Structure formats: C-alpha cells, structure tokens
Structure 1
Amino acid sequence: MRPDLARIRRRLRTACTRAGVSADDRGRLVLAVTLLAEPALTAGETVDVATAASDRRLAVTVRLAHAVSQGSRDALPLLPERGDGDTLTWHLTGGRTGAPADPEPDDDWATREEMLALVARADTLAHEQRDLKHELAETNSGVLAMYVELEQRDEQLRRAHAAIFRELEDALRPRPPAVPGLELAVHYSPTDQDSPTGGDLYDWFVLPDGQLHVTLVDAVGHGVTSTRHALTVTHAIRTLALEGHPFPDLIAHASRTLAAIEPGLMATVLLARTDPATGHTRFANGGHPEPVLVTATDPARLLPPPVPGRGVGFPDPGSSELVEVELAEGDTVLLYTDGLVESRKDIDEGQHRLLALAAAERTRPVPGLPRELVTRMHDVVLHADDTVVLAVRRTPRP
C-alpha cells in the first residue's frame, strides 16, 4: 500500500474513532475514499483529506485534482453529498465524542473489524429482507383473498341489480295483451344498458268493447324523473280511457288534469285505437313522430295528422284531428319514439331509412320485427337516446 494512502486511511479511522462512528460506517467511508484516492495517487495527483468533528457529527472532505461525476459518486459504498466537482463531503453520525484513539491504528486489525461489522450489517439486512418478503407475501395473500371476496360480492350485487332491473322492466313495460285478430310485439333499447329507466314508456290494454288501446309517451328529460313523468301520463290516459272519455280528447284532458299535479311535466304522446274485428284504427298525435303503415303491396308510408298536435304540458295540447286507416289482414302499424330515427342526428333521413327498411321487412314475423328495426336503424349511432318500437299487425281472426 502506498504510504500516502496508508496515512489517509489512518487519519480517517482516527477521526471516526474519536467521533464514535460505527465500524461498518467507518469501513464504508474508508473503502469509498480508498477507491477515489488510490487511482489519483498512482497517477501522481494530490489528494487532500480534511476532517471536522462536532457534537456527535463528523464531516469528512476529500479534494481531488479532477472532478468526480455524479455517476461515480453513486457507485461508492458510502454516498457523499450530491453534486459534481473535485470536492466530496460526507457527514457521519457518531456515538460519543472525545473518545481516546490509538495514535497509530493497526490497518489490518481495523480492516478485519470493519469487515466483520459489514458482514454483520449485511446479515442483518438479509434477515430484514427475508422478513419483509414474508410480510409482503402474507400481505399479497390477504389482498388476493380480499380481492376474490370483493369480486364475489360484486357478482352478487350485479345479479341482484339484474333481478331488480327485470322486475322494473316488467312493471314499467307491460307485455303485449292477447287480442284475437291482432299480433303485437315491442322492443325497448335504453341509452344506458345498465339502467331500465327513461322517459320512453308505453301502455296497451283492451277496452270493454274489445278495442285495443295503445299509448306511447316520450317525456322530456332523462333518468328517474322522466320515468316518473312518463308513468304519470300513461296512468292518467289509461284512467281516462277506461272511464269512457272520448278518444280525441284524451291528450288534452290528461294535460289539464296533470297541470296542477306535475307543473313541470312535458311529454309527446301518440295514441292508437284498433278494432280487431274490422281493422279500423285511429291515431291521436300530440307532437310525436308519425306512425308507419306497412301494407302487403304498397310502399310503407308515414301517417301524419292533417294538423300537427301538441303533447302534454305544451300550450294548446291535444290532437286537433285524428288519422284513420283500415288495416287489412297482414297490414302492420309501427309506433316508435324519436330515438329510432335520430341516431344519425337527422330525423328526416332517419324516417326515409325507416320506411325503406319497414317495407323490406314487411314479411318478417311480428315477434322479431321491432328488435330487427332497432338493430338495423342503430348501425351508426351519433346521437344515443332511449328507443321504443311497437308493432301491431292484423291477422285472420279464428
């Protein structure tokens, strides 16, 4: 070992001993300074080492003839303060100050002591690492068990929600009534597939005289409030119809009745009433998209009222004039909400597509017709909205 290097090592050990620095910190400091000083001394450069002790603190400064990069500093066994340059500084914590020191420490003895301390420290770190791995494994096992449990609970909640939604669907969207001479079908497509609520609702029932009554409502707004408004309208019209109020007055009468109960309620309404014995069908339209008539041979066509009507909650509500058609056997009437024809943001283009598609599907069995229309019309969706499609086809009476 070069004399200068041995002198530097003795100086460092003496300072560490006086400051009460632990053997492992002392060993790492001596090794770090050796790694820096030995190449410099071999190259004939000067290495200046200074130490300064204060209350349980030791500062060691090494100044070289060349700058030491941060990468080289980070590779040392004891990291100095950050920064580039030719000066490196360490601050070590001691145990006690003023301790007597051997004026000529034995290099071999000190090296063995430092090595033993470093081995002990490495062993301690290994034990701590094994304990940490064990704790981490237990934690991971607990987290995995918790994750599995949460997944199971989430699946249970999904099943419960699905059951509740099915019950809501049955309550909000009644199944087609059995009407001899008529075949009925419906399909509902919500904006949000996880929620059955919305403002597009319908109602159909058979009157005491045997006629089929259909109510289709599209309440303004979204969510539960619009669902409540739509339910209020369908129940009001059902009550008025069963009480025998004239068919042309139902929309206006319902609007007047609900004005005091739900002042903010606004909804478009389409009413249809069909006599299954004759096929005679009347429509009362309160601001709703026009129904479509599909016959066996003629092109499909819209059934607009002579004078457009207004819905519930609008000024001057009601249907001023009715639309009347005679359904022959095999003829189909389609009632729908605007979500069917506005998926591409152009209602006129949507209605043209609907007419062409309805004519092409005129022979499709009624049970699958509404779903097929929705699927084909929603091939491109630029504007998502709740959609209801009802199909009424006259069939031969038994």
Structure 2
Amino acid sequence: MNRRRSNAGLALFSVLSLAAAAGIAAYAVSVDLRPSSMLPWACLPVLVLAVAAAQAFQVDVTGPTSPARFTLVTATVAPLIYGYGIATVAAAVALGHLPGMFGGSLRRMRGLTLMARWTFSATVGATVAELLGVATELTPAVVASIVLSLAVISVVNLGWLLVEAAITDPASWPYAIRKPVFLAAVIAVHWVVNSLFGLLFVFALAGSPLGVLLVPVPLLLIFVTARLYTDAYADRGRVETLSEASRILSEPVDPMTAIRPFLEEIRERFGARTAALVMVSEDHRPSAFRWSADGTYEDEVPVNPLERRLVKSGVLTRVSASDNSALARLLREDGRRSCVAAPMQLGTRIVGVIVLYDLQGPTPSAERYQVSVLETLARQTVHTLSRGWAISKVVQNERSLAEILRSTSDGIFTLDASGAITTWNPACERISGLPVAEVRGRRDALARLRARTASGRPVDLLNWREVDEFPREMLLTATNGEQRQLACSFTRAENSDGTRSLVVIARDITPATEFHELSEQFKKLVEMQSAQRLVVDHLQQAVAPEPPGMEGVDIAVAYVASDPTAPTGGDLFDWHELPTGELHVAVVDVLGHGVTATRDALSVIHTLRHVAVEGTPLDEVVARADMLLGAQDSELVATVVVARYHPCTGELRVASGGHPPALIVAPDGGVRQVAGSGGAIGWPGVGSHDIAVTRLEEGESLILYTDGLVEARRDIIAGMEQLELIAGEIARLPAQELSDTLVQRSLEGAERHDDALALVVRRASKPALAPSARWELTPQATYLLSRVRREMREWMSAHEIVSEDALLVADELLANALDAARTRAVLAVEVSGRTLTIEATDDGRGDPHLDEHGRTRPPDGREHGRGLYIVRRLSREVRALSTADGSVVRAQVVAGPRADASLG
C-alpha cells in the first residue's frame, strides 16, 4: 500500500471516529443522559487547556529494547466526566487537540488522528461513566465508576492504535501485537497512572471548584520527572549498546565470524526491524549482511540501490519515506518507512556503513541518542574490524608479521615481559619521529614521547603483565614537537618460545596536514563535483597537445577512459608540425591504467616527438625510441603507431610498433587498411619492419585508434569488422563528429575493460566554416568540459571572433545543464554577425522557477546561483524555459572581432 492511499484510509477512519463520537453525544443529549451534578462552566476552559497540555507534554519512557510513550490525557478527562455531560466531554477533548492540527501536512494529519482517537475514547468512557452513575456525593460507587470509565478509555485507545497500524502499514502490523504481555503491561501502567491523577483532580474539584486551577501542576511535574528519567535511561542505554556491541564484535580473533550476533544485538538494542552492515572490499565491491526481526539473516549478499547510495555519500544520513528526495524514493521502492545510516571510515576511505531500517517510533530525545550512538558505534566498529583483521592475519600466518609491520599505516610495536620494545614498525617511526634503532631493546621510549592518557595521566607499560585495563586513547609528543592523538588496542600474545609479549596497535587520529592543506585549497568549492571537475580539466589540458593549425589538415580526437573515476590512462596521442613541413602524428597504448599509465604514455609520446624532430628516419623511429626509453624504464611496454603526412601532396607514411592497422575512409564510405608491421616498445623484436606508403585524396580521412575500441566485445576480428562498418557509414561527418561517433558507437552496449581512443586526420583544402556548433555530453562526462571550451574557442577563431565572455557563458550554462541532466546535456552555439546565441539543454526534472534565478546577486559564500547571475551579467538577453521533461536556457552575447582582424 502506498503512503498516499494509507493516509487517505487513516483520514477516513479518523473522520468516522469523530462522527461516531458526535453521534453518541447527540444521542445522550436526546435521551437526557447527563450527570446529576454539574461543575461551573467557568471551570471548563481551564480543563480544556489541561487536555491540550496533557497531549502536548507527553511522557517518553525510552530504553534500548522497549521504547514506550504515555500521555496524561485520560487523567484530564476524569474531571470532565465527573462534572459535565457526554456532549461537553467530547467537545472539550476535541477542542483540546485542535492546536495540534496547525502546521505542515504531516502535522495536520497527525493532529487529526490524535483528535479522533481521544475524542472517540473519551466519549465512550463518558458514556460508560454516566450509565454506571455519577452523583454529586463522591461515594465509593462514584469513584469506582470513574476508575472503570478510565479503564474503558485506555482499552478503546489501544484498540484505535491497532486499527491505525493495520491501515497505515499492513505488512508490519502483526509486529504491533507480537508481545501481548508487553501491551498488557503498557495499558495497565497507563490506566493506573491516569486513574491516580484523575482521582486526584476529581477530589480537588469535589472539595472546591477552584481546585481546577491546580490541575496543570501535577502534569508539569510528571513531565519534567519523566524527561529526566528518559535522558538518564538514554545515557544508560547508550553505554550498554556501545559496550555490548563492541564486546560481541571484538571477542573472536576474526571479527567477521561475529557479524551475525553483532547485527542481532544492535537491531534489538535500537528497536529496528532490520539492521544491515555494508562492507566495501579493496576492489570497491560492496556486500551486505542483514538481520531482520523475523529471524532472517543474509550473509554477504549484493547491496540494494539505497545502500549503494548511502555508501557513496559517506556521511551520517537520516531518511524518511515521506521525504522528497532520491534516497526517500529508493527507501519507498524497498518497502521501508525510514532508515538511519552511519559511515565507517578508515583513514580517507569509506569501508562500509551501518544501516538501521524502520526504527520503532523513536521519541525526539531517543532519536538523538540513537543517532549519536550509531555514529560512535560505526567508528568503533571500523576500528574493531581493522584491528581484528590485522590480528587475525598475525595469528594465521606469523611469517607475514614483518610485512604487515612495514606496510600498515597503523603504528604497531611490541614489548617483552620486562617492558622493553622488541619491534617498532615504520608507522611508529613516522608518528613519533623516533627511529627503530633508538627504541629497540629500550624501556624508556614512551617516557621520551611523554605518552599520557586523555586525562593527562602518564602511560606506563613497563609492568604491563600486572595491568588489568589499558587506555583506549593515548597522547604523545613527537620529536618535532607535534602533539599526536592515538587510538590504541592491546593484545597479549604468546611467542613461539613460550614467552609472552604485548602487541600495541596505535592509529593516528590526528587530523593530517595534507587534509588541512586540501581543505584550505578547496574551501570555496562546496561541492565535490566542482573540485573533481577542476582537477580533471587541469589534467586533460596538461596531456592534450595544441592543434597544429596547418592548412589542408582537419584533425580531431575522441577518448574514453575505462574507469570514469580516473579519466586518464595509458592511451595517448600527439601531433606536431616537423621542420620538413610534414605533420607528425602518433598514437600510444601503454600497458596499465590510471595516472601511472598516463605518465608512461607521456614519456613515450615525448620521446617519439624528440626523435622525429631530430630527423630520425621513420623506419627507425620506433627502435630509436625504445633504446632511449629502455635506459630510463626497463619495465615499460607500449604499442605505437606513427604517421607522417604531407598536407600539400597528400603523401602518407605509417610505421607500426605492434599496433592495430590504421584505416583510410573515403567520402563515399570505402574503407581500406594501412598496415605496417613491427614489434612493440619494451618487447623483443621492437621496431618497424616495413613502412606503409599511400596517399590521402581530398576528403579522405586517416583513422588511428587503440585496441580498446575493437576489444570491447572480446572478439577482435568482429571488433575490426564493426569498426570498418561504422567508419564507412559516418565517413562524411566532420572530423570531430567522426571521431566522437566512432568511439560512441563502437563501445555502445559493450563492457569496457580498456581505454579507447580514435584520432582522425582528414585532407581538406580548407575546413568549411559552419555557422553553428553543437556538443552533447552525458552527466558523467564533466571531464570533457575543457575540450568543449577549447573546441568552441577554435570555432570562434575560425569566424574571426574572440570573446572570453561568450566562453564563460557557455561554460556556466553547460555545467549547470550537466548538474541537472538525467541522461544528456547539449550545448549549441550559433553566430550571426557579431552576435553569438548560446543555448544549453538538459533532460532533467525541471525547475518551475528557473527563469527567476540569477536576477540578483547571491550572498557571499554561497556557491549555488552564481552561474546564472554571471550569465545574465555578461549577456544581452537571457531566456529560460523549464518543464518536467527538461530545461532550455538561451543567452545572446555580442562579441568583438579578433585583435589581428581589427588591425587589418
């Protein structure tokens, strides 16, 4: 059942309950069923206020396993039953709950249900009291009638709550009655407390009507007392939850064997329907462990989309199904009502997240302690797991201890029975500044570092065998004077010779200097996406060569990395005009991925350009480059293809070093291979065995590519055939569109395992000046923004236009479109005279107020909203249209002529 339908059902049930209460009251008036004794009407407003106060000042009794909530509305109904008729009781209780209906839609709904529940319960209870008889004289029979009517109110109230649970959440409704003894205890306590207070109010009224003024006093006292009890009980629950969960997880040597009881404990402690532990492996693959209230346990199962998003966010998250967010949508799709998630962070890496689903109605104070406990529990869990993994490895394979000591980022040292240090790993050296030679065999290392607890008490481990409890945190002063805070764990171990030693694992939790510097550098970049885009732009600009600017040459390149998070790799290209007037073109594919491969590819590219510029014959270029590179890096392996093209004659020569054959595509779609032969750099038989010589006719295009373009489908022959087929179909496209489309269609639907690159060299007398240009990007392709900016600058330069304002407007519009897009964003630019029309389109969800944004300057320090403000300041006219299917923003910028053109 969706939330809207359940709310409609609950509203209908509430209205019917109010109607039933009104019917009972009307019937009582018609038959003249009213008490023989009436209080003065002046007392009624005070009693109505008492009802309002009682339902507002609810009593929260919160524990780690059985949270409960009480109000004293029933107690305030008792004097109404004693002093007034049924209709007056119903009206007074309804009026007392009327303030709760003011607020948002959720608050109005909650106020309506409370009004209906208590009005109906009070009406039924008042009817029972009048049927039993309420007289002026406060006799035992009258007292018994009042007490019995209060019991009826409590039972009717609980029944109403069960019906509400069945309407709003049919799937979980049976859980509401899975503890009948607990429910009976709750209703009994509720009845006893309210009966005592109700009789107190009735006795006060019986003595004097002015006693009604004292009614709110006990309510306030019980509220303050219960709140103090709740806070104290919450503190106790916090300590018990952390202590018990940490004990369960840290007891075994391998903490992974305790995941099930650990989840069972925290699910029961927090009162959640399901507890989940999501862990991310070193290869970034998440898996989930889940324990549900029905006894179902899931061990290392795939994560759902919601848990994947929670891991990716890496922050403390609280989500309700009623929220208007992407996480709330995923929560509803998973059939959950709410969740609280706390990330587990190990250094700078998120290694997992603890998720609690469907907490059983925590009160505000309980929710605060639950969130704080869960956040602390996540920190302790990740340290327990990391410590357990380290200790487990030591126990399983003692021979790997030396490697662990050298490679771990945690400081690990051991002490023998006399308190002397026997091992001191490199992390300890880095943290303390003391080299191993100065501490091994000595007993004063901690004293030299002024080791102390958080309270300032010196840490002395010389007699560690007699210590029952070790400090969990330790402060020390490094040799350079810096203060270091360490989270420590201690394990007593038995050596192979029978002696005992103490193993200390110390994690440096002091904020790292590198993090502080990065925070200062990016303090104005609020969103991570903006920072990533800036870094990627700089990296792309650093490795991409400038266009050669040779007449008769139209050249373009398209590149896609195998890993979107690392938009550079081992596929790289180069072009350069040689002193002979020829165009030197090279494509390199280095074994490997990421920035390391980019570094190696740059070395190969620069070496090939160097040997080409110094006049090395083409058939010796590959072998000469291998000789120079081998002297620097003997492990480097790369395939290369080098072409030399003469724009005036069209003469083309191609040398290969283990690279796939080049293609030449004619305007009519004909495709032929240009296959040289030779060995790859870094392999035996390196060099070009023969040079392929041909000629490019006008309109023909040379295509150089890397094997990632033909190996994406794992069948290289089929990949080559598909590449030639696609190239023939799109042969007439401009060079840039040809390279982009070639990469896009070749990789469409394939699983990418390698970088892919396509470089196009077309022979043209002069590139046609298109009056418009268009770029289409996906939301993940923010790293291509720099290339779009460069290509737009070249397009404007061809039209003898220079305008930094236009480039900035286009950059801001395209960046905004990518942020809003679901699948694609398009930038279109058109020139008419000196006016540039710049249009950005996206297929996002739309913003009905988009045309109003950016008209005023946003406050200082606020990142959002500045883009459209800048666009409006730099443009002559800006129009925006946004619907549920997407948005379009169009701006007109008046550009000036190029400086060299104006001088002419």
Q: TM-score range by the shorter chain?
A: 0.5 to 0.7
> Which of 300, 303, 310 is matched with 2:674 structurally?
303
| 2:184 alignment counterpart | 75
Bigger CA drift: 295-304 or 187-196? 295-304
Q: 1:393 corresponds to which residue? A: 762
Distance 2:675 2:748 in 1: 26
| Paired position in structure 1 for 2:556 | 185
Q: Secondary structure at the match of 1:253?
A: helix
- 1:33 aligns with none
Q: Distance in 2 between matches of 1:134 and 1:383?
A: 50
Distance in 1, matches of 2:706 and 2:526, equals 34
User: What's the counterpart of residue 656 of structure 2?
Assistant: 285
Q: Secondary structure at the match of 1:393?
A: strand
Deviation at 1:77, TM superposition (A): 5.6
- Equivalent residue, structure 1, for 2:633: 262
Q: Please give the residue correspondences for 1:369-388 in structure 2 after superposition, counting only pairs within 5 Å.
A: 369-388=738-757
* Aligned positions of 1:58-97 closer than 5 A: 71-72=180-181, 75-76=184-185
Whether 1:197 and 2:568 are equivalent positions in the alignment is yes
Q: Deviations over 1:25-48 (max 9, x none)?
A: xxxxxxxxxxxxxxxxxxxxxxxx
Structure 2 residue 734 is matched with structure 1 residue 365: yes
Q: Larger radius of gyration, structure 1 or 2?
A: 1
- The 3-state SS of whatever aligns with 2:737 is helix
Tell me if the contact between 1:198 and 1:224 (Cα under 8 Å) persists in the aligned partners: yes
Which residues in structure 2 correspond to 1:121-160 (within 5 Å)? 122-128=222-228, 133=364, 155-160=526-531
Contact 1:286 1:310 in 2 (8 A): yes
Q: Which amino acid aligns with 1:252?
A: A
Q: Measured at CA, do residues 233 and 125 of structure 1 come closer, stay the same or move farther in structure 2, by a change above 3 Å?
A: same
**Aligned partners of 1:381 and 1:163: how far apart in 2?**
29
SS in 1 for 2:685: coil
Partner residue of 1:212? 583
Higher relative contact order (CA closer than 8 Å, sequence separation 6+): 1
Q: Quick check: 2:656–2:678 contact (8 Å CA) kept in 1?
A: yes
SS at match of 1:220: strand
Shift of 1:129: 8.4
Deviation, 1:384, is: 3.1
**Alignment partner of 1:332 is 2:432:** no
Determine the C-alpha separation between the residues in 2 that align with 1:298 and 1:223: 35
Is 2:606 the partner of 1:235? yes
Is this contact kept in 2: 1:184–1:392, CA < 8 A? yes
| Deviation of the 1:194 alpha carbon | 3.1
Residues 130 and 73 of structure 1, relative CA distance in 2, 3 Å threshold: closer
- CA drift at 1:227: 1.1
Q: Distance in 2 between matches of 1:119 and 1:164?
A: 61
Letter in 1 for 2:720: Q
> How much does 1:71 deviate?
3.0
1:349 correspondence with 2:718: yes
Structure 1 residue 397 displacement after superposition: 6.1
Deviation at residue 377 of structure 1 after TM alignment:
1.0
Match of 1:271 among 636, 639, 642: 642
Runs of at least 5 residues in structure 2 that lack an aligned partner in the other structure: 1-177, 189-195, 201-217, 232-362, 372-522, 768-904
- How far did 1:301 drift? 2.1
Cα deviation digits, residues 202-240 of structure 1 (max 9, x gap): 110000111000111000111222111111111111111
| Contact 2:626-2:681 within 8 A present in 1 as well | yes
Aligned-partner Cα distance in 2 for 1:167–1:296: 36
Which runs of 5 or more structure 1 residues have no equivalent in the other structure? 1-68, 80-107, 113-117, 141-151
Q: Residues 303, 129 of structure 1: CA spacing in aligned structure 2 closer, same or farther, 3 A cutoff?
A: farther
Task: Establish whether residue 222 from structure 1 lines up as the match of residue 593 from structure 2.
Answer: yes
1:333 Cα deviation from its structure 2 partner: 0.7
Task: Tell me, yes or no, if structure 1 residue 249 matches structure 2 residue 620.
Answer: yes
Structure-1 residue corresponding to 2:881:
none
- Give the alignment of 1:166-181 within 5 angstroms: 166-181=537-552
Q: Which moved more, 1:270-279 or 1:183-192?
A: 183-192
Q: Tell me the equivalent position of 2:305.
A: none
Number of corresponding residues:
287
SS at match of 2:530: helix
Greater share of helix? 2
Q: CA deviation at 1:271?
A: 0.3
Per-residue deviation, residues 134-192 of structure 1 (Å, max 9, x unmatched): 7968999xxxxxxxxxxx97744432331221121111121321111111011111122
Shift of 1:198: 0.4
Question: Which residue identity is paired with 2:544?
Answer: R
2:755 & 2:220 partners in 1: Cα distance? 72
Question: CA separation in 2, counterparts of 1:377 and 1:329?
Answer: 26
Per-residue CA deviation, residues 346-379 of structure 1 (Å, 9 max, x unaligned), is 1111110111111111111112110011111111
Provide the residue aligned with 1:31 in structure 2: none
1:70 to 1:289, Cα distance in 2 relative to 1, 3 A: closer
State the identity %.
Answer: 36
* CA distance 1:155–1:232, shift in 2 (3 Å): same
Whether the aligned pair in 1 keeps the contact of 2:669 and 2:727 (CA below 8 Å) is no
Partner of 2:133: none
| Residues 658 and 679 in structure 2, CA contact (< 8 A), matched pair in contact too | yes
- CA 1:361–1:346: 2 relative to 1, 3 Å: same
The answer to whether the Cα contact below 8 Å between 1:345 and 1:383 also exists between their aligned partners in 2 is: no
373 and 349 in structure 1: CA distance in 2 versus 1, 3 angstrom threshold:
same
Equivalents in 1 of 2:625, 2:712: separation in Å? 30
Aligned residue runs from structure 1 range 1-12, under 5 A: none
Q: Deviations over 1:114-147 (max 9, x none)?
A: xxxx98984345544898847968999xxxxxxx
Q: CA deviation at 1:73?
A: 6.1
Alignment TM-score, normalising by the size of structure 2: 0.29
- Find the aligned partners of 1:191 and 1:264 in 2 and give their Cα distance: 22
Give the partner amino acid of 2:537: R
- Cα deviation for residue 383 of structure 1 reads 3.2
Deviations 1:268-304 (A, max 9, x none): 0000100111111000011111111112346212222
CA contact (8 A) 2:525 2:531 kept: no
Q: Which one-letter code corresponds to 1:323 in the other structure? A: A
Question: Given the two structures, how large is their TM-score scaled by the length of structure 1?
Answer: 0.64
Cα gap change, 1:176 to 1:382, in 2 (>3 Å): same
- In 2, Cα distance between equivalents of 1:235 and 1:120: 81
| In structure 2, C-alpha distance between the alignment counterparts of 1:137 and 1:257, rounded to whole Å | 65
Instruction: Please identify, of 281-290 and 131-140, the stretch whose mean Cα deviation from structure 2 is larger.
Output: 131-140
Does the CA-based 8 Å contact 1:343-1:380 persist in structure 2? no
